[in-house]
Structure 1
Amino acid sequence: MGGAVERDGLPGWLLPVRDAAERVRPGQLSRFLPPPVGGRRSAVLMLFGEGGHGPDVLLIERARSLRSHAGQPSFPGGALDPEDGDPLREGPVNAALREAWEETGLDPAGVQVFGVLPDLYIPVSDFVVTPVLGWWRAPSPVGPVDPAEVAAVFRVPVAELTDPANRARLRHPSGFTGPAFLVAGQVVWGFTAGVIDRVLHFGGLERPWDTSRVVELSEDAFDLARRERGGLADSSGTAASGTADRTAGS
């Protein structure tokens, strides 16, 4: 699939996102950073496209039967395989594209990878995650390939993600709070919401919003999170995330 990053040929609205990805530091994205050794290497694809409602981002809803992050909206992605190549070089890009193809049927040939964010860490699942940024220059049909893994595939307009009415902070029963987006009939939270929040902020797409607005994690989502790692998800590692508890502008 190729692990090349191509900077040029993007629409103008994505240029600030590309430039921010090149200068952002790990600590500006999350307070949960990879340990010196260990952790399971993985990658996710934050794919930007242009649909009927303007610029958008591709998300999936993970199947409720999964062991990790069950039922949660997330980016396509997963663990690196040996065939993906060097985990410190082309591996994350290849893994993000491969996983997106396996989960949604996305044709990787239509994706231009234009940036790679610093590695982040999800304590509850011990994943070291590399967020890969892509431009969907030639859209292809997408949908759940295996319902046992992916319950739904959907595109969320960037305008909805940046709408102040759809922004909040989600409070987990453990006490953790982090960014949340109330979009497409979903509550996007945890690691995925944290990455979206920071990309919007540093990419200059964020609009002022009420950071004092707090929503509670639903009982259903909490029960699914508790199931992970034998209930460790309500410990300090929390909520399938790894996202810093920070406000916009930090």
Structure 2
Amino acid sequence: MEGMARSNSSRKTDTIAGARRPEVRLPPLVPYDGEGLEPDGDYDGVRFDGVDLADESGPGARFMDCALDGCAIDRTELVRARFIDSVLTGVRGVGTDLAGASLRDVEVVDARLGGVQLHGAVLERVLVRGGKIDYLNLRKARLKDVVFEGCVLSEPDFGDAQLVRVEFRDCVLKRADFSSVRMESVDLRTVAELDIARGVERLAGAVISPAQLMELAPAFAAQIGVRVEA
């Protein structure tokens, strides 16, 4: 009985909680026929198909049951915007401002973005699949049940963010900044390329593979002041 108890305890310790993925089922949508985003605008059941939203301003806008397909969002201001039960496919842009935004039950597919500002944002049940995002700013953001899958994140900044049940699956992390991050049930085991620029000492709460441990060993040793010499 004692041995069985130890075995059960070991299994519980080795198990990491998986992220809950969004289950977005969009209703019939109406095409967007507006002339630009509005501050605190309310968009419910709208399809934005190839719409050029570059330089538009819609702080505080709410997007519920919406689809954004192939839209340009260069320098679009969406501070404190809310995306709920929505799908963003093939969106592209540089300098999109989503600071303090809220994304819940959202799928982002094949995005091509650069310098996206999501600092202080809240992401819950979000799937980012495919595409490439450069210089993603998630400082002080809260991520819960978020999956990055098959995408490339170049120099993402997770500084002082809180990550709970976050999975990085078959994706590339280049020069990631995990400074002062807090992690709980973060799965990095299937990352294709794990390159941590800062914050390797903040991986408590994450699970990595044995191969990744070997790759990160020099960084871990340097962090605690151990010299490794032949």
TM range, smaller chain: under 0.3
Larger relative contact order (Cα-Cα within 8 Å, sequence gap ≥ 6): 1
TM-score, normalised via structure 1 length: 0.23
- Of structures 1 and 2, the larger Rg is shown by 2
Larger relative helix fraction: 1
